[in-house]
Amino acid sequence: MPGYTIETVGKVSVLGEAPHWVESRQELIYVDIPGQAVHRYVPSTGDDFVLPLTKRVSFAIPVESESNKYVIGLERTLALLEWDGVSSTYKSLKNISTVEEATPKNRFNDGKCDPQGRLWAGTMGHEATTGNVDPKKGNLYSLDLDGEVCLHVDKIDISNGLAWSLDSTRFYYIDSCALTVDVFDFDASKGTVSNRRVLFDLPKHGVLGLPDGMCTDADDNLWIAVHLGSKVLHVDTKQGALIGTIDFGGKASKITSVAFGGPNLETLYVTSANLDLTPEELLTQPDAGALIRPRSNTTTIIYKWNWKENRSFLYSQLPVSLYAMEYSHMSSKKKKKKKKKKKKKKKKMMKKKKKSTPAKIQSLLLKQLQIINIRGSQEIRSEIDIWELGMSKVTEQNLTCATRSPWTNVRMQAEVRVD
């Protein structure tokens, strides 16, 4: 692809990975896996804030409607991180689920959310030395809307790029050592994949290197990072044909992943690595480990973006079920204290609302109500006290309210009916 220049931004990483554009805040979140750090790059100021951790972090996905919460892959564990995006320390870090107890040296690699909000993340085997990975030890999982971890694909070498088609009927996937980009049929309602086949074979197209991270664009085509290939491929998903290539001219051989961002989603962000490069190689690869922005010099190259896949917010009600799990492990003393506090809060709110709420409705509000929350094809039911809700509409027949998850404060719309 002619007509572009290479611009490096942000801070240098040992192994930069998993870029995620946060449209609402116009910033890019990415990680440095062996550097054990989460990065927050702000293009408007040029700042790249870094949060150091104590374990390898594979991805950090922003939580919907929250400016400081992320679901991260930490070694073999999925965790919820709370970080203000500026400080060098985090506020909280809570484990969600840990996989593969039998293979403790495995770790998560790439992870993204599907358009329905499920988190998909894959693992890879132990890498004793760079490129020497225990074969067929990795797996691909999803963290479902009810908090269940589901296994979809096993016997993977290096689980990597994930992407979905615009209509959510296809799932694109990369196992790097297979040297192919594969496509599955995707059932969005069930969150399942089937009918795996090869979409694009790198060696057959004369491409050297390993396929790594990828993303889709508004034309439903793929942009694929090529590790050890110093390039990004643009691939037609209908024909499996190579549309074009962005070649970095050897200035960064280890290209790791891609994501679109910017005010008009016109900018391609590319992560890279300098892991295990010799001093001599570093001299010839000045962009190794940098966050790179290829800039178009012509009007013929327009980078497009698929918001459903790249926004990658966690839309699911997973935190609600996790809160229930956390609450069930509380001591009886803590539970009593929590109930007592809740009771006081309810009485206080009753006094405030008594004057403005009709008596008939007031009596209904004192009951335990069933919240039915429909998100896509998922139906989630939970018992909750009406006083935890912020009312937006009240009638004698039903109450339409907006509430937040008690743990992560994720907003959801709920229709409340009296049993």
Amino acid identity at 97: S
The rounded distance, in Å, linking the Cα atoms of 52 and 90 is 9
The rounded distance, in Å, linking the Cα atoms of 115 and 118 is 8
The yes-or-no verdict on residue 24 having pLDDT over 60 is: yes
Q: What is the pLDDT of residue 390?
A: 40
The rounded distance, in Å, linking the Cα atoms of 372 and 28 is 35
Report which of residues 132 and 253 the model is more confident about.
Answer: 253
User: Of residues 212, 217, 220, 419, which has the active-site annotation?
Assistant: 212
Angle of CA points 212, 215, 220, to nearest 5°:
135
Tell whether the torsion through CA atoms of 319, 325, 329 and 333 is positive or negative. Answer: positive
Read off the pLDDT band of 345 (50, 70, 90).
low
The yes-or-no verdict on residue 405 having pLDDT over 70 is: no
Q: What is the pLDDT of residue 129?
A: 81
The rounded distance, in Å, linking the Cα atoms of 202 and 225 is 12
Beta bridge partners of 381: 372
Q: What is the pLDDT of residue 163?
A: 97
Name the least confident of 93-97, 132-136, 340-344.
340-344
Read off the pLDDT band of 107 (50, 70, 90).
very high
Residue 321's nearest CA partner among 199, 410, 253, 250 is: 410
Name the least confident of 69-73, 98-102, 128-132, 154-158.
128-132
**Contact criterion met (CB below 8 Å) for 261 and 28:** yes
Q: What is the pLDDT of residue 4?
A: 74
The rounded distance, in Å, linking the Cα atoms of 402 and 221 is 37
Name the least confident of 216-220, 391-395, 408-412.
408-412
Q: What is the pLDDT of residue 360?
A: 40
Q: What is the DSSP letter of 377?
A: T
Q: What is the DSSP letter of 343?
A: H
Q: How many C-beta neighbours within 10 Å does residue 301 have?
A: 18
Angle of CA points 271, 277, 278, to nearest 5°:
155
Residue 97's nearest CA partner among 124, 119, 127 is: 119
The yes-or-no verdict on residue 320 having pLDDT over 80 is: no
Q: What is the pLDDT of residue 146?
A: 78
Structure tokens at 47: 């700042």
The rounded distance, in Å, linking the Cα atoms of 213 and 122 is 12
Q: What is the pLDDT of residue 277?
A: 96
The rounded distance, in Å, linking the Cα atoms of 141 and 270 is 25
Tell whether the torsion through CA atoms of 172, 173, 179 and 180 is positive or negative. Answer: negative
**Contact criterion met (CB below 8 Å) for 152 and 141:** yes
Structure tokens at 41: 């790059």
Over pLDDT 70: what percentage of the chain? Answer: 70
Q: What is the pLDDT of residue 77?
A: 97
Name the least confident of 67-76, 298-307, 308-317.
308-317
Question: For this structure, is 212 an active site residue?
Answer: yes
The yes-or-no verdict on residue 416 having pLDDT over 80 is: no
| pTM, rounded to two decimals | 0.74
Read off the pLDDT band of 65 (50, 70, 90).
confident
Residues in the chain: 419
Name the least confident of 153-167, 239-253, 322-336, 338-352.
322-336
The rounded distance, in Å, linking the Cα atoms of 10 and 200 is 32
The yes-or-no verdict on residue 324 having pLDDT over 50 is: no
Residue 221's nearest CA partner among 174, 179, 265, 163 is: 163
Q: What is the pLDDT of residue 130?
A: 78
User: Residue 278, SS3?
Assistant: coil
Q: What is the pLDDT of residue 176?
A: 97
Q: Each residue of 355-373: pLDDT tens digit?
A: 434 444 333 333 333 333 3
User: Residue 129, SS3?
Assistant: strand
Q: Each residue of 153-199: pLDDT tens digit?
A: 999 999 999 999 999 999 999 999 999 999 999 999 999 999 999 99
Q: What is the pLDDT of residue 257?
A: 98
pLDDT (mean) for 81-100: 96
Q: What is the pLDDT of residue 70?
A: 95
Mean pLDDT of the chain: 79
pLDDT (mean) for 122-132: 89
pLDDT (mean) for 217-229: 95
Residue matched to tokens 């690699």: 109
Amino acid identity at 280: E
Contacts of 190 (CB under 8 A, 6+ apart): none
User: Residue 111, SS3?
Assistant: strand
Highest mean pLDDT among 94-103, 313-322, 377-386, 407-416: 94-103
Q: What is the pLDDT of residue 263?
A: 87
Q: What is the pLDDT of residue 341?
A: 60
Contacts of 151 (CB under 8 A, 6+ apart): 139, 140, 141
pLDDT (mean) for 265-291: 95
Q: What is the DSSP string of 290-324?
A: -EEEEEESSSS------HHHHS--B-SSHHHHHHH
Q: What is the pLDDT of residue 327?
A: 30
The rounded distance, in Å, linking the Cα atoms of 53 and 72 is 11
Q: Each residue of 229-250: pLDDT tens digit?
A: 999 999 999 999 999 999 998 9
**Contact criterion met (CB below 8 Å) for 124 and 212:** no
